[in-house]
Structures are given as structure tokens and as C-alpha cells.
């Protein structure tokens, strides 16, 4: 006997069939905060804190991020794109606060808003001991920080080597 719970591929392939039921289902699962965000009342995911929706019976349920599900219901299937938050509230599922983009768009958005964090974020000095602030730091397109003193030293050394090898005139 075949289980009638939707699979992920069923959900994406026949999403228009599920939308009427899902809209009512979703409307019972959020509260509106003072900023106008629709805050997911269901379970959040582990360390990222995004809302997670479980669809189907417990034994064979489909787990999908709540903001992605909300976007699919209200705006359509984002395909392979990520669903990003304008409001930066991970539990928000308001379609007005959601937009599609690549993972690169997501990183650039985080960097622009000052919330990009990685293992190097809290470092105050480069590996050679130069201060990473003010005029000595360059923010890369991926959100990384580069020491300009080290960069100038590297460029100088490269010029000296290339001149010694006859690679450059000078």
C-alpha cells in the first residue's frame, strides 16, 4: 500500500494542488510582530534558527524551511535559488520580507548589513601582526578582509623577483 504523504518532488511538481490547503495551514502558524514580520510559531532549525515546517505523517514527513514554503505559496517556486530575508529575522515568513537570490547574493547581503560571521570575523590583526582596521583593511567581494600592508609587501617582493628573472622591464 502506497503512503499518501507528499514527497519533496511531489510537492515541487504539483505545488499548485497543495496551495489551497497549505495557505490555510500556514495561516494558523504565525504571529505578526510590531515590525510587521510574520513570526513562525513552529519549531526552529538547529543553529541557524530558521523555522521548519513538517508536512505529512510523522513516519514519513517532509521537512522544509518555513520561509521557503511561504515564498512558494505566495510567490511561486524559487527553483534552485535561495529564499532570502530583507528583514534579517530568521523566523519571519512574511512574503513581503522574502526575495530570491543565489548563495553569493546572500553572503553579499550579510556583508552589506554587517552580520556576516566566519572563523576570521573576530580577528583584529593579520597573521603578520598588522592591525585590520581603518585604511589598512580591504573588504573583498566575498566579505573577507585583507591586510593592505601585507598586500603591498607581497606586490613589492613579486616585482623584485620578476625583475631579477627578467620577466619584467624595469
Are residue 68 and residue 140 in the same domain, yes or no? no
Structural domain total, the chain: 2
Other Cβ atoms within 10 Å of 164 Cβ, number: 9
Owning domain of residue 111 = 1-116
What's 111's domain CATH number? Answer: 3.90.75.20
Q: Is the pLDDT of residue 31 over 70?
A: yes
Are residue 62 and residue 16 in the same domain, yes or no? yes
| Nearest-angstrom CA–CA distance, 137 and 123 | 12
Number of H helices, E strands in the chain: 5, 8
pLDDT tens digit sequence for 81-119: 999 999 989 999 999 999 999 988 888 888 777 776 665
Are residue 108 and residue 139 in the same domain, yes or no? no
Are residue 89 and residue 47 in the same domain, yes or no? yes
Contacts of 120 (CB under 8 A, 6+ apart): 144, 145
**DSSP state, residue 83:** E
Are residue 74 and residue 147 in the same domain, yes or no? no
Are residue 63 and residue 130 in the same domain, yes or no? no
Are residue 90 and residue 43 in the same domain, yes or no? yes
Q: Which pLDDT score is estimated for 10?
A: 63
The cell for 57 is 505523517
Are residue 1 and residue 28 in the same domain, yes or no? yes
pLDDT tens digit sequence for 118-159: 656 667 888 888 888 888 888 777 667 889 999 998 888 888
Are residue 80 and residue 7 in the same domain, yes or no? yes
Cα–chain center distance at 147: 26
Say if CB 167 and CB 146 are below 8 A apart: no
- Among 101, 116, 131, the domain-final residue is 116
Q: Is the pLDDT of residue 79 over 90?
A: no
| Nearest-angstrom CA–CA distance, 86 and 154 | 39
Angle at 153 between CA 149 and CA 154, to 5 degrees: 115
- Packing angle, helices 15-27 and 66-75, rounded to 10: 120
Are residue 50 and residue 95 in the same domain, yes or no? yes
Amino acid at each position: 500500500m502506497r503512503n499518501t504523504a507528499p514527497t519533496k518532488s511531489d510537492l515541487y511538481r504539483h505545488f499548485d494542488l497543495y496551495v489551497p490547503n497549505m495557505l490555510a495551514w500556514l495561516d494558523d502558524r504565525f504571529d505578526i510582530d510590531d515590525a510587521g514580520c510574520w513570526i513562525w510559531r513552529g519549531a526552529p532549525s538547529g543553529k541557524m534558527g530558521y523555522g521548519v515546517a513538517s508536512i505529512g505523517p510523522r513516519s514519513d514527513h517532509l521537512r522544509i524551511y518555513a520561509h521557503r514554503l511561504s515564498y512558494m505559496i505566495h510567490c511561486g517556486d524559487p527553483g534552485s535559488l535561495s529564499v532570502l530575508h530583507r528583514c534579517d529575522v530568521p523566523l519571519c515568513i512574511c512574503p513581503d520580507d522574502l526575495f530570491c537570490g543565489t548563495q553569493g547574493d546572500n553572503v553579499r547581503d550579510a556583508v552589506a548589513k554587517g552580520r556576516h560571521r566566519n572563523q576570521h570575523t573576530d580577528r583584529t590583526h593579520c597573521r603578520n601582526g598588522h592591525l585590520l582596521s581603518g585604511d589598512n583593511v580591504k573588504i573583498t567581494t566575498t566579505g573577507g578582509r585583507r591586510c593592505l600592508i601585507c598586500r603591498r609587501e607581497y606586490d613589492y617582493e613579486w616585482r623584485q623577483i620578476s625583475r631579477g628573472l627578467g620577466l619584467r622591464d624595469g
